[in-house]
Structure formats: structure tokens, C-alpha cells
Amino acid sequence: MKAGIFITGTDTEVGKTVISAGLALCLRDRGVKVGIMKPVATGCYGPEERLVSHDAAFLMEAAEGQFPPLHSPSRFRNPLSPNVAAMIEKKEVNVEKILKSFRELAGHYDYMIVEGIGGIMVPLKKDYYVANLIRDMKLPVVIVSHAGLGAINHTLLTFDAAMIRGLEVKGIIFNRVAVSNYSMVELTNPKVVHDLSGVPILGSLPEIDDLQVEGCRFGKLKEIFQERIQIDKILGESFAKSVLKS
């Protein structure tokens, strides 16, 4: 099993890309050679033969990635579920190509970060979901959630889907959490989720000034991530120790 993590979410637009980039920036700061992937991306732009994903470009910039074709091997123009976008565009989500790209990238790096699309049960093709891809990559999972109303239900559903499919959940990160004037929902939801699931809460991130995914601007993402996220728990004890030794 390659050292790495799969970043999934309770929904789309919960901040998976920001969390993935933040982890990549912090690992690079520790001297880790980190590889990063956005295997499937929809809502891409540009000429058909060279579609570009804003999220994938942001991740590559964070990791100073090489081998661009391997980082995002399955791209679609329509901002839809991948299986629907593929049908409309008369293409396919080529799982074998994705897994081959993952293996090739993993051979060049110490640690892999893979960002999913949408949530864990987003269909990539008939009878094949994001959860299947995680299992085939043999990676543990971090779940990204919002902390507001509905977070308990969404997070526990995602955790339950992961457990049913035999996936290892490293923990949960809450994104876009207020830094002051917390609502009662934001104060209580993380503890409730932890108490009901038993999964570690790895930290929370606020909105970050000057961070722009489309403009590849990170603002103070690295500094805030280092302060507020339990990075060693994501890495695992053995890998974290090896990083500290080096």
C-alpha cells in the first residue's frame, strides 16, 4: 500500500481542494516529496483536447507537481456528475487509465494525496462509485465537512457508506468554520459527530483571506493548516516518524 490519503467530502463544494492543497503545502514544507491527483474533474474549460480543471491546476501548484497528464486523467467540460458528463460528451471515465496514472505517479513520490469528486457515492460509471476508486487505490480516507446545520447527518452518512465498503477513515476535518462568534451548531456539531462515530476530529479551517482556487493563490493556507489541523494523525505514526527523522 502506497503512503497516502484520499480526501473525500460530504458533498460538493465543501472544501476538498483547499484541504488537499493545504496538506500538500505542509508536507512540502517538511521536505516530503508529495504527489497529488484529481483523478476525475468536471466543469473544465479550454479546447477539447486540453481541458483544464481549476481544482487540478490549484493542486498541482500546491505540490509543484510534474507529469500533468497523470494528475487529472479524466476530464469533462460539463459541471455534472461524471457518469452524466461522460454520456453527454460521448466519452468515458476510464478507471484503468486512472489507476495506471495513480501507480505511475506513486512511483515518483513519497506520499500521495488524491482528491475525489463530490461525495463518496458519486457514480463515475455504471456500478462504479468514488468509493470503489478509493478501495482500488487502497488508500485511507479523510472526510471534509461543513460545520453548520445538516453536518451531523451528512457526515455520518458519509462515514457509514465508507464503513460498509470496508474503507479506513482517518478522521474528519470541518471547513469554513467561524473564528469568532460561533453559532451553537458550529460549537456542538463536531463533538456530536465524534461521539456518534468514534472518528477523530482532525481540526477545522476558517475561511482564508486571499485564497483563490481559480487564481492559484494560497494566502495563509499553509500557516493556518499547520496551526489547526493534526497533520501527523493524517500521515499515520510510522510515516510521521520517518518524516521527523529525515
**What backbone phi and psi angles, to 5 degrees, belong to 219?**
55, -135
Positions of E strands within the chain: 4-9, 34-37, 40-41, 74-75, 111-119, 123-125, 128-129, 141-146, 169-175, 201-205, 211-212, 217-218
38 in active site: yes
The one catalytic residue among 38, 97, 126, 170? 38
Please enumerate in sequence order all residues whose Cβ is within 8 A of that of 108, keeping only pairs 6 or more positions apart, or say none.
33, 35, 66, 67
Distance CA 240, CA 194 (A): 23
Q: Which residues of 221-236 are buried (b: 16+ CB within 10 A; e: fewer)?
A: bbebbeebbebebbbe
- Cell numbers that stand for 61 in this block: 501548484
The answer to whether the CB of 140 falls within 8 A of the CB of 167 is yes
Catalytic residue annotation = 38
